[in-house]
Amino acid sequence: MKIGLVSAYDYPYPGGVSEHVHHLEEEFTRLGHAVKIIAPSSSDKEELARGNVYKVGSVVPIPANGSVARISLSLRLSGSVKRILRQEQFDVIHLHEPLLPALPVTVLRHSHALNVGTFHAYQNRSLAYFYGKRILKRFFNKLHGRIAVSQAAREFIGKYFPASYEVIPNGIDLRQFNENVEPLPEYNDGYLNILFVGRLEKRKGFQYLLKAFPYIKHEIPNARLIVAGGYSEEDKEQYESFAQRTGLTDIVFAGFVPSELLPRYYKSSTLFCAPSTGGESFGIILLEAMATGKPIVASDIEGYRGLLQHGVEGLLVPPKDETALAVAIVRLLADRELREKMAEGGRRKALDYSWSKVARQVLKYYYDLGEQYGFSLSEDRARPAPFGATPFPSRLYPLHGE
């Protein structure tokens, strides 16, 4: 089968959607399908071409959901898109965020293949969908199949574009994130480590974890907070200032963590904390913690609630509540048996989200749609290719839009 994966976002710039596209390409290729990625990119065009990536459109950073979305806003893409579609003759065009400007809607406009769209976002496109619904409806109607990465994402997009959606989640690279990775020796010193991973944006909720930390230290003197993420010196200044004013110690701002080291940070932690305030469609960081065998304390928000069962893989607490956050963290730090029980629950949960399983779910959906709409998704158009053909890190960090 010939499959075109279309991303609205800068590829392979770090981001959740880019990583999702990369892993689908990797798994589909391993299974013998012919796969090309079509995306805007700020990377070198020749380098991308060697990895079966068509670079279409320049990249513009746009503020979105407390973060920055790197998409293409160019309206002069039709020529390139038509040329690629004519040359490749894809059986399936799979668009990620299919209603975003400008590349996905341009591809939809010209595609005569089986069109499938995956909706990743939760809440951060409300105004665009509300005011643009009439225009976007014509593109939405060209989709033969619709995937949402979670129940939260399905409910969100369904408010604006009611239809049938298949829920197929994000995946986890279990070759990279697993309980057998080595912890970092500098954190193996008797402290109980609380790990936060993410950007220092308001919606990630780090401010509430920091406010909870004095209460945690009072009850657990050997607690330590490790803060890893793609944040700048300027981003962390206000939090370092707060720590200094309140006399807080044992806070490590680790900053950017290379992808190959990130699993070792999870492994070095006693528990993982995700205090996000909302706007999360899926908790990929929760899966990473689960896969490395760590219990979790997370906000009880839509995107996390669908993945983490309270009392099984971790504890859910009300968002924006530093007291509840502190109580839950102290409870876990003080109870080794409970931590081990939840860690085991998380390891079992993570096995269901391997990229190989996710990719097969997606392929089955393609074939079901093909049968439903009369598309012949011929196996003889597949061609074997080396595993991992795309030049792409095994794990991008930080994640975009998580």
Is residue 21 scored above 90 in pLDDT?
yes
Identify the pLDDT of residue 399.
33
Q: How far is CA 28 from CA 19, 363, 385, in A?
A: 14, 8, 10
pLDDT in tens, 212-224: 999 999 999 999 9
* Mean pLDDT rounded to a whole number for the chain: 88
Quick one: average pLDDT of 114-134?
81
Single-letter amino acid, residue 85: L
Q: Which of 56-70, 155-169, 231-245, 337-351 has the lowest mean pLDDT?
A: 56-70
Q: Which of 10-24, 115-129, 191-205 has the lowest mean pLDDT?
A: 115-129
Q: Which of 102-116, 237-251, 367-381 has the lowest mean pLDDT?
A: 367-381
Is residue 228 scored above 80 in pLDDT?
yes
The CATH architecture one would assign to domain 2-171+354-381 is: 3-Layer(aba) Sandwich (3.40)
Pairing of strands 166-167, 192-197: unpaired
Banded pLDDT at 171 (limits 50, 70, 90): very high
Banded pLDDT at 231 (limits 50, 70, 90): confident
> Domain segments of the chain: what residues?
2-171+354-381, 185-351
Identify the pLDDT of residue 12.
73
Identify the pLDDT of residue 398.
36
**Cα 224 from Cα 202, distance rounded (Å):** 22
Task: Answer yes or no: same fold for 2-171+354-381 and 185-351.
Answer: yes
**Cα 149 from Cα 365, distance rounded (Å):** 14
Identify the pLDDT of residue 189.
94
Candidates 287, 271, 252, 291; CA nearest to 331 is 271
**Cα 50 from Cα 177, distance rounded (Å):** 27
The pTM assigned to this predicted structure is 0.84
338 C-beta neighbours (distance < 10 Å), count: 15
Which helix or strand (DSSP H or E) is residue 133 part of? helix 126-140
pLDDT in tens, 309-365: 999 999 999 999 999 999 999 999 999 999 999 999 999 999 999 999 999 999 999
Identify the pLDDT of residue 45.
61
Best CATH choice for the domain 185-351 from the list 3.30.70.1450, 3.40.50.2000, 3.30.2390.10, 2.40.50.140: 3.40.50.2000
Please tell me what DSSP assigns to residue 166. Answer: E
